[in-house]
Amino acid sequence: MAEPEEEDRKPQSDEAHSAFTPVGGVDQAAPPEEDHPSSEFTIPSGLRIPQTHEDTESSAFTPPETYDSRQPPPHFTPPTGIPVVRLVKEAPWQDRMRTILRTPVAERPAPEPTQKHEDDEGRAVPRVLDLTLRIGELLLAGGEGAEDVEAAMFAVTHSYGLDRCEPNVTFTLIAISYQPSLVDDPVTASRTVRRRGTDYTRLSAVYRLVDDISSEEVDISLEEAYRRLADLRRNRHPYPGWALTAAAGLLAGSASVLVGGDVLVFVAAALGAMLGDRLAWLCAGRGLPEFYQFVVAAMPPAAMGVAISLLDLPDVKASAVITGGLFALIPGRALVAGVQDGLTGYYITAAARLLEVGYLIVGIVCGVLMVLYLGVTLDAGLNPETSIHSSDRPLIQILASMSLSLAFAILLQQERSTVLLVTLNGGVAWIVFGALARTGGISPVAATAVAAGLVGLFGQLLSRYRFASALPYVTAAIGPLLPGSATYFGLLEIARNNLNPGLASLSKAAALALAIAIGVNLGGELSRLFLKAPRPEGQKARRAAKRTRGF
């Protein structure tokens, strides 16, 4: 019995005894509530748990418990509903697509496919986007405005049933993005415009292709559209090279008669312009940039004028020879397109186009100034003996303006069916200008703007009548209004070290050029007042082209 008592009296090891072990005989308090283990997903006390059945299935369209039908949250859709855009079939496709462009994305109508293709949508989407980019490339390379290029791209995609497409056009890059649904990744494609030219025959053919694609009466598959696009790419220019050179001479000679020249001045201006055109073609064949081509092309007309001044022929105006040569070089087409892009909200493209115009004008200035400095050194007697449009020969000037528009149309490679109409449009422009500036005594800038507005108005109406681009009916018709005389007199004064009069004359030339561009664009916008353009239901006015509202 002694042995167990001795074992009970032995001290226990450290593993059997802890300093935190409660002392026997002492009542222990319950642990506080905070010490109970809990989860971060445990529902706090006081929260009302909705009583639902375990087997009740919920839907994505089931309203939440906090939804109150009496005080609903604000909706994305307005209470009156989204306005319906009625794309009337009687309106030209240009206006229908422009209406979609100027409509917010959430309010655009679903497309109504006019063309059917055999492939399913997944395989056809890349081909439709590629076809759209190729058509947009030809239009942008031909000098078409950015908004019109996007309208044509919209027409192609909508005709083949692709909605939610967003084209993006800049000066040298065309991109388009298509999103099949809100949960699918968008498909984006782009194309770069490397070269630009002035072939309005090809431009008209592209417009006819887009018109056929967007028409319900014509069935064009993707294969047929690709074939037609390849055919018009391979088409040769409608006029040979010698005809273009002769047209450049006719343009310069007509412009010299327009500012007071006679037969000798006509011949001298034509020879100078044709020589400059051939030299520019030679430089282009050698791969020189366009800037140097303009420098070389501007030198022969100026040299011809200096030579006539050195010969001191009686009643021969050397300034008319140089002015006629400048008419054939001023980039009026690029200027009108640049201002039009700026007025319609495409500021990046407009800035790039106007920068290009600035470089080309600087090239003309360099070529003319080098020759004029040589003439002043040789005491050629270059004096501004005439003012802008000072000659009073109405009938001869009207015929000269029509001849100038005719030559300009040939240089732009227009279709022969449009040459007569644009020639008449140019004659009307000069008649309006002469009536306002000479008879009415109105400022030349204001008279130029009004005449250019009529050119834009008639050009847009003619293009809608033929479902074609407005450029062939507008660009050549503004030729008689180009500021050739103001440009020459400004350069002459600078060559004679008279900077203030020279800069004033060049500023007047810039004002005349801007008046032409703004007048053409305003005339085109006014032409839509006579057209049945689509618009949202209940909206009285057409949506504005400007999207920033100034801020």
Arithmetic mean of pLDDT over the chain: 76
- Sheet bearing 165-169, strands edge to edge: 165-169, 173-178, 187-192
DSSP-derived letter for residue 412 is T
Residue 320's SS3 state is: helix
Q: How confident is the model at residue 479 (pLDDT cuts 50, 70, 90)?
A: confident
Q: Which residues pair with 174 in a beta bridge?
A: 169, 191
The mean pLDDT of 125-138, rounded to a whole number, is: 90
Indicate whether 458 pLDDT > 80: yes
C-alpha distances in Å from residue 517, one per residue of 148, 180, 306, 361, 529:
16, 40, 32, 16, 20
pLDDT attached to residue 62:
58
pLDDT attached to residue 75:
47
Indicate whether 103 pLDDT > 80: no
Residues 6+ apart with CB under 8 A from 199: 142, 237, 412, 413
Q: Is the dihedral of CA 449, 453, 454, 456 positive or negative?
A: positive
The mean pLDDT of 462-486, rounded to a whole number, is: 80
End-to-end C-alpha distance for the chain, whole angstroms: 106
* Tokens read off for 288: 């020189």
Per-residue 3-state assignment (H helix, E strand, C coil) for 64-129:
CCCCCCCCCCCCCCCCCCCCCECCCCCCCHHHHHHHHHCCCHHHCCCCCCCCCCCCCHHHHHHHHH
**CA 262 and chain centroid, separation:** 41
pLDDT attached to residue 134:
92
Indicate whether 535 pLDDT > 70: no
**Model pLDDT for residues 148-201, shown as the tens digit of each residue:** 888 889 888 888 888 778 888 888 889 999 887 777 788 889 998 887 777 888
Whether residue 98 contacts residue 542, with contact meaning beta carbons closer than 8 Å, is answered with no
Of the candidate ranges 43-47, 292-296, 310-314, the one whose mean pLDDT is the lowest? 43-47
The mean pLDDT of 398-426, rounded to a whole number, is: 89
C-alpha distances in Å from residue 521, one per residue of 143, 256, 285, 467:
15, 28, 35, 18
Rounded CA-CA distance 468/473 in Å is: 10
Percent of the chain past pLDDT 90, that is, above it, reads 8
Nearest 5°: the CA angle 54, 55, 58 is 95
